[in-house]
Structure 1
Amino acid sequence: MLPKALTIAGSDSGGGAGIQADLKTFQELNVFGMSAITAITAQNTIGVQGVFPVDLKGVEQQITSVMDDIGTDAVKTGMLLNRDIIEIVSEKADHYRWPYLVVDPVMISTSGSKLLHEEAMDALIHKLIPKATIITPNIPEAKVITGMNLSTFEDRKSAVKELHKLGPQAVLLKGGHEENSDHIVDILFDGETFYYFTVPKINTIHTHGTGCTYAAAITANLAKGLPLTKAIHEAKSFIHLAIVHGFSLGEGPGPTNHSAHRFYSDSFLELKVDTE
């Protein structure tokens, strides 16, 4: 039977991130995608022009409708926007006992728009993150959650440990915002071992939806039954190729290329995995 994955996130009218990126990724990785939309955003490559929350009952009913009939092998969360939505998702996680829960703590869009209300941070940290199989913050998000300075690699390792103390089974700190290196290093910590996923840094502005796509690829791979480190390894290959072959669309940063793995798999440059 085809593996299934549910994404609970916001809609991106520009098609590069959010629900749209998640569903494209699921499809590319041979996983049947389902969705519960938390907010409708009016956005394009230039920025976010408007955010329109879905009624709380609507969010809850979308999740219930999918779960009571179809079920899922894995769940990903993206833009949850406010405390009430986070609490509903947390309750559903308990009720349905999702096999895998990937929490991408979306806070700010690439263009700088806030996608998580300040009052929702406590609920994210204390109610949802502890139930996650893995959380996938980028460096700015990890700074906000931990309040730590992440200017050095050792700082980031320390932050990953602090994030793990919040209760998730594993933490993947994405290194894409690192400015002083010609390589990107993502740090995975499962409570015992550090894993480092390293790829060359790509000089491009066309990275819209990178975080959503990466987390969705991890979710899809978990839904297919891959072990966590293998799921991340495959997802890193997927997103790296998507960035390498991203393209210009509109007047601002374009999207990643979700189908790149089908056409350019032999051109993958380097993915180094180390452990500590």
Structure 2
Amino acid sequence: MSRLTKGRVLIVAGSDPTGGAGIQADIKVVTALGGYAMTAITALTAQNSKCVLDIHSIPIAFLRKQFELVIDDIGTDVIKTGMLHSALVIDLIVDLIQDKARDIPLIVDPVMTAKGGGCQLLNSDAMQVLKDKLIMRAHLLTPNIPEAEYLTGIKINNLDDMYYVAKSLLSLGPSAVLLKGGHLFSETVIDLMVTKDNLLEFNSPRISSNNTHGTGCTLASAIATGLAQGLSMKDAVLRARKYVFTAIATAPSYTTAGYGPLNHVHTVIKDI
């Protein structure tokens, strides 16, 4: 069995009943890229392609059990976090990582809002905890432009702003930051990855599509899978971006009401 059919990824995030984002999307991504997905669910959401209507928090003791039982039994090669909606949840995950998974690479996707609007996916009291306790432990932080602006308080209008904000986010302690540029209107989507020693720029043509629900979850989980399979950070990002590009380009267009889901299984079903 080749290394690209291996790779255990533990996803700590919320559920999306539409299947386009959250835990449901994460599982599809990891599986479609040949990895093995496991989950610790932080919250249930009531949402559709237009908005998030309600959030039901998983009891904190039950979240702890999910995480501990998976780590103690199957183990993991990478941990990826998504929707961590409260300070209490973030504090717990930090404690669990410190106790159970200190040496496991951590991908932090700082989920804050849903693309279609509605309920906030990160409580106001959780922002400082996220910055002070979790981001500093990240192997990679993957904010989009609005999330980066929330985290830094700096407005991003162009590529120079992206570079400055990415470096500012690096000062919070992560080993690397991948700042996604999809929210800047241009024909080319540019993502910047910065470490203390390097700056990498990733480019791809913009696809005109409303089928972009869950792109952030999808990209972060795809990167996590690559790292779990032994790819370098650069190669994991390159493969993940290619995967997301094709997933948008071949999306099934299930809804015209809001933002539709991606085609997560394009690596499995070739004739779409």
Aligned equivalent of 2:259 = 253
Q: Structure 2: how far apart are the matches of 1:248 and 1:48?
A: 20
* Distance (whole Å) between structure 1 residues aligned to residue 128 and residue 161 of structure 2: 23
- CA positional deviation for 1:56: 0.7
**Aligned sequence identity (%):** 41
What is aligned with 2:40?
Answer: 36
Q: Please state whether the residue corresponding to 2:200 is helix, strand or coil.
A: strand
Please report the RMSD computed on the Cα atoms of aligned residues, expressed in angstroms: 1.3
What SS does structure 2 have at the residue aligned with 1:41?
A: strand
Q: Letter of the aligned partner of 1:68 in structure 2?
A: D
Residues 222 and 67 of structure 1: CA distance in aligned 2, closer, same or farther (over 3 Å)? same
Tell me which residue corresponds to 1:146.
Answer: 152
Structure 1 counterpart of 2:110: 105
- Mapped pair 1:21 → 2:25: yes
Distance 1:14 1:239, change over 3 A: same
SS of residue matched to 1:6: strand
Q: Would you say 1:188 and 2:182 are equivalent positions?
A: no
Equivalence for 1:242: 247
Q: State the match for 2:207 in structure 1.
A: 202
1:159-207 C-alpha deviation (Å, 9 max, x unpaired): 000000000000000111111x100000000111110110000101110
- The separation in 1 between residues aligned to 2:224 and 2:103, in whole angstroms, is 12
Q: Does the 8 Å CA contact 2:131/2:172 hold for their aligned counterparts?
A: yes
Shift of 1:92: 1.4
Gaps of 5+ in 2: none
Report the Cα distance in structure 1 between the residues aligned to 2:43 and 2:187, rounded to whole angstroms.
36
Partner of 1:121: 127
User: Could you state the TM-score of these two structures normalised by the residue count of structure 2?
Assistant: 0.94
For structure 1, the residue ranges without an aligned partner over 5 or more in a row are 266-276
The amino acid of 2:51's aligned partner reads: G
Take 1:261 and 1:241, find their aligned partners in 2: how far apart are those partners?
9
Note if 1:165 corresponds to 2:171.
yes
Match of 2:76 among 66, 72, 76: 72
Number of aligned positions between the proteins: 264
Partner-residue secondary structure (3-state), 2:154? coil
Contact 2:116–2:258 (CA<8 Å) still a contact in 1?
Answer: no
**Alpha-carbon separation, structure 1, partners of 2:111 and 2:259:** 18
